[in-house]
Structure 1
Amino acid sequence: MTVSQHPVSPTDPRTVSELAEAVQGGLPRTIADLSSLVRIPSVSWDAYDPSHVAASADAVAELVRSTGLFDEVRVSSAPIGDSGTTGQPAVLARRAAREGKPTVLLYAHHDVQPQGDDADWETPPFEPTLKGDRLYGRGASDDKAGVMTHVAALRAVHEVLGDDLGVGVALFIEGEEEFGSRSFADFLRQHHDDLEADVIVVADSDNWSTTVPAITVGLRGNVTFRLTVRTLAHASHSGMLGGAVPDAMMAMVRLLGTFHDEVGSVAVAGLESRDADHPEQTEETLREESGLLDGVAPIGTGPLLSRVWSQPSITVTGIDAPSVANASNTLLPEVSVRVSARIAPGQTADSAYEALEAHVLAHAPFGAHVEVTDVDKGDPFLVDTTGWAIADATVAMTEGWGEAPLQTGIGGSIPFIADLVRTFPAAQILVTGVEDPDTRAHSPNESQHLGVLHRAVLSEAILLARLDARG
């Protein structure tokens, strides 16, 4: 990765000390507020009660008001294109810059993934539970801890620097990131002047470990779609016709098998990889972090981190078919699956989708009828690491964590960052976060390491103080 060429100096030691004291003193309140947010089941998916997302937005708005820094804090929604529907509520606030200081936009999201099967959780998913250094619950980390990082850092900065704070602050806490940010581009257009900034901090990523921070500089894009295979006009008795006509499940399994080669690498022509350097990761670490079972081999080729940062992947994340309990001796006429592809930085989501669509149409077995619908696309992103903002963030995180941050990639996607870049091309993007390898975001038993939260809050408070010191 390219290192910033901008010279940087340490933050004023007195300021760091006072911010550290304020963050430490406010930590019990921060954890209590995070726990209150976790209790709100703010799942933004269509099938869930939207009143919980609205309640979550109202709760976040009150927390933002508690910083004492904003004259107005609003809950706002935007349309989703020309669909006639409106996106989930977001929280918006802005404090104008003074005396030529820069403005920073702080982003996080208050919606969460569905909890899945409650039986897979060791604690109730929406009842925050403290076990050792970790707070368990859906959204405890992704991304309500990101929300509280901003709130707690602003509280500390206000306590130490007072009302004379010169740095401008815009705050955008989204309400539908986990459902594809479908109104995001419209929200940016609707609130362009409120959100415009010199630096954008996206608090929705992870760290190298619980003791070593990271700044994410590379993110894969994504293409997701519903794939439907049809082979019969109606269901038929498997004993009477099995062996003569192909059922949809058989055709679907064969089609899905063409996505990968014999070692598990993606085998779709037109999906690209990125050539880059990667830190070393051992197979032992991969097994520990992923829960890979004994005897199950990793897939793909090349350095392990290149496989999740710089190569494409394809996963089937859902299937519509009879359950085992409800299975009958029937040839299925139709089967649908949800396909999620991750796209390496450097390739557009549009070109990746074209490759995937061409592949499924060309590889449909037995002449099966194939349909691709419900498509979502998000471009990958590479951060420009040569600007002054990443230099300031590196110093702030080093002082807040006691360890210099690594510049890392992540296998996950944050598609809306491409929207931010298109709307605010002059802004410098910083992708930070509060997760760690044991967070299990999106999975059962999600948790937030409280030491990581503490250090993330302090680092962001120091960054805000450094931006305030800029002319």
Structure 2
Amino acid sequence: MTRDDAITRATAHFDAGGFLALLREAVSIPTESQRPDQPGQLDAYLEDFITPLIAKLSFQDTTILPNPNGTNGPFLIASRHEGDDLPTVLVYGHGDTVRSYPEQWRDGLDPWQVTVEGDRWYGRGTADNKGQHILNLVALGQVMEARGGRLGFNTKLIIEMGEELGSPGLRPFCREQAQALKADVLIASDGPRLNAERPTLFLGSRGAYNFELSVNLREGGHHSGNWGGLLRNPGTVLASAIASMVDARGTILVEGLRPPPIPEGVRAALADIRVGEDPNAPKIDEDWGEPGLSPAERVFGWNALEVLAFRTGDPDGPVNAVPPHAMAVMQLRFVVGTEWKTLIETVRAHLDANGFPMVGVRPARAAEVFQATRLPVEDPWVGWALGSIEATTGKNPALLPNLGGSLPNDAFSEILGLPTLWVPHSYPACQQHAPDEHLLGSESREAMAIMAGLFWDLGEDGPAVLRRRAGGA
């Protein structure tokens, strides 16, 4: 068979309902990792759904292992070996979801059943992430059948069950299982495309570091008439401290929290990227953020310092008193090159130098730091993947050097040392994490074709890409 035959086979399987049937089965397993009473369901997804599915794809050495932290959801790893001289791809997905909140879904929708209404396929996990990794596995199987039971490359698989909690245990797990997960490239799917119509490739993600600022000046409040103007107000102090760090248009004022200049390759990749054009997207504030940058550069190539929460006194029942305390939760979304490991020391030094020694700073409680990652846009895998997607769709795919959001990509890029290619299959208005989460049927069908083409091309071109990365012809 040819490449076109493999893609036709994959889309025909999709049209016959093969993917939808698997998606219905997967969604019916409630895998809410954010609920402490769900460990049995997390295990069931791997044991009763993923394991039989990949057995049909001739995966060997399938193993379900406990989380290294002894608390959170397990991991599944499996492998399919065709030859020592062939490239090896690592495929990733997560089978857990956020809480379902069924009472918030509109009438006629059940988060644990797939409901098809026109082009929208509703259900918790359809977009994040069951639909995405199942689609990739189905495409892999269709290419394997088109090639008479072979792929032309080796495959390894990791499915985690705690991504919606920040992937606890994933990093130590990757360290412990580094040999079992050893590969040449990661190909995975999560998050949305740039928009529903444009296929997208992203190469990493921005990092995220949450930290707390606090002002604790005295015990108890004091009457604002008798003491106002005499006692330092912690809310005012904290607001002023924040204003010394980020100005009224969102420009970061602390040099140590700013990124290095945007690399020319990244700037070139973002030149044709338009953000916020989805009909359901909020209107972009053109005068917000770092001056001189395009909206795409601000969200994909730069850092953002955000106030996530601010509290002083009792906002629900204010009284005429100078409050004793104030606190804020801040977040730095950051790109590669930012000195995030010294963030607390950097903020402490800034506060002291600007007259705010009374403002405390510490990492947010239970905060998991997502590191910033970005495969260089010049890497041979990038041009290969873009060419494959364009050959399949006839469209110019969007290249995002990294997502604006965060993923546990550092487990793969930094710990396992892999080049990382992410091909998302949802879209910005999919209502991920919200009631009425859904996939688009039309976009999923195109994604099936894209992944079939990508896996076919990996069997054809993988060795040559590895030679180019090694400096060969």
Q: Report the TM-score range of the alignment, normalised by the length of the smaller protein.
A: 0.7 to 0.9
Q: Quote the offset at 1:463 in angstroms.
A: 2.0
RMSD of equivalent CA atoms: 3.5
Q: Structure 1 365/244 Cα, relative in aligned 2: closer, same or farther at 3 Å? A: farther
Aligned equivalent of 1:216: 202
Change (3 A) 1:411 1:433: closer
Q: Deviations over 1:292-343 (max 9, x none)?
A: 39xx765123211111011111223346778755666665544444322111
Q: CA deviation at 1:265?
A: 2.0
Aligned pair 1:447/2:438, yes or no? yes
Pick from 22, 33, 42: which aligns with 1:44? 33
TM-score of the two chains, using structure 2 as the length reference? 0.81
Q: Which residue of 2 aligns with 1:90?
A: 75
**Partners of 2:14 and 2:448 within 8 A in 1:** no
Alignment partner, residue 68 of structure 1: 57
| 3-state SS, counterpart of residue 332 of structure 2 | strand
Instruction: Select 1:403's aligned residue among 359, 370, 395.
Output: 395
CA separation of 1:256 and 1:47: change in aligned 2, threshold 3 A: farther
Give secondary structure in 1 for the equivalent of 2:256.
coil
Contact 1:215/1:406, CA 8 A, preserved across alignment: yes
Counterpart of 1:91, as a letter, is L
Q: Which residue of 2 aligns with 1:367?
A: 358
Alpha-carbon distance in structure 2 between the residues aligned to 1:102 and 1:344: 30
Label 1:329 to 1:394 Cα distance change in 2 as closer, same or farther (>3 A): same
Q: Secondary structure at the match of 1:261?
A: coil
Paired position in structure 2 for 1:417:
409
> Which residue in 2 is equivalent to 1:342?
333
CA distance in 2, matches of 1:236, 1:51: 52
What's the TM-score once normalised by structure 1's chain length?
A: 0.82
Q: Any stretches of 5+ residues in structure 1 without a counterpart?
A: 1-11
Residue pair 2:215, 2:358 contacting (<8 A) in 1 also: no
Match of 1:170 among 149, 156, 162: 156
Per-residue deviation at 1:191?
1.5
* Structure-to-structure mapping, 1:20-419, within 5 angstroms: 20-26=8-14, 28-45=17-34, 49-62=38-51, 64-65=53-54, 67-80=56-69, 85-98=70-83, 100-114=85-99, 119=104, 125-217=111-203, 219-234=205-220, 244-246=230-232, 248-273=234-259, 274-275=261-262, 276-277=267-268, 278-280=270-272, 285-286=276-277, 288-292=279-283, 299-300=288-289, 301=291, 302-318=293-309, 332-359=323-350, 367-374=358-365, 375-414=367-406, 416-419=408-411
Question: 1: distance between equivalents of 2:351 and 2:280?
Answer: 32
CA contact (8 A) 1:343 1:352 kept: no
* 2:330 counterpart letter in structure 1: V
CA distance in 1, matches of 2:140, 2:288: 43
Secondary structure, counterpart of 1:404 in structure 2: coil
1:367–1:71 distance in 2 versus 1, CA, 3 Å: closer
Amino acid at match of 2:163: E
- Letter of the 1:461 partner, please give it: A
2:423 paired residue among 429, 432, 442:
432
Q: Distance in 2 between matches of 1:108 and 1:197?
A: 16
Mapped to 1, the partners of 2:323 and 2:29 lie a distance apart of 40
> Which residue in the other structure is 2:469 paired with?
none
Moved more, 70-79 or 98-107: 70-79
- Distance in 2 separating the partners of 1:362 and 1:287: 43
Contact kept, 8 Å, 2:90 with 2:187, in 1: the verdict is yes
Aligned residues: 451
| Percent identity between the two aligned chains | 22
Aligned to 2:466: none
Q: Tell me, in whole angstroms, the C-alpha distance in 2 between the residues paired with 1:337 and 1:259.
A: 13
Q: Which residue of 1 aligns with 2:7?
A: 19
Residue 259 to residue 69, structure 1, CA distance change in 2 (3 Å)? farther
Change (3 A) 1:260 1:114: farther
Counterpart residue identity of residue 31, structure 1:
L
State the distance in 1 between where 2:362 and 2:228 align.
Answer: 24
Find the aligned partners of 2:4 and 2:350 in 1 and give their Cα distance.
55
Which structure 2 residue ranges, 5 or more long, are not aligned? 464-473
Inter-partner Cα distance in structure 2 for 1:352 and 1:369: 13
Separation of aligned partners in 1, 2:350 and 2:28: 44
Distance (Å, rounded) in 2 between the aligned partners of 1:223 and 1:214: 26
State the shift of 1:93 in Å.
Answer: 1.0
In structure 1, the residue matched to 2:456 is 465
- 2:194–2:427: 8 Å Cα contact kept in structure 1? yes
Preserved contact between residue 229 and residue 335 of structure 1 (Cα < 8 Å): yes
The 1:155–1:250 alpha-carbon spacing in structure 2 relative to 1, beyond 3 Å, is: same
Counterpart amino acid of residue 64 in structure 1: L
**Displacement of 1:126 after TM fit?**
4.7
Post-superposition offset of 1:97: 3.0
| Structure 1: distance between partners of 2:125 and 2:441 | 14
- Partner of 2:424: helix, strand, or coil? strand
Worse-matched range after superposition: 91-100 or 403-412: 403-412
How far has the Cα of 1:195 moved from its partner? Answer: 0.9
Counterpart secondary structure, 1:139: coil
Q: 1: CA distance between counterparts of 2:10 and 2:237?
A: 61
Contact 1:212 1:405 in 2 (8 A): yes
Indicate the larger mover: 174-183 or 64-73: 64-73
For the structure 1 residues 384 and 358, does the alpha-carbon distance in structure 2 shift closer, same or farther, using more than 3 Å as the test? Answer: same
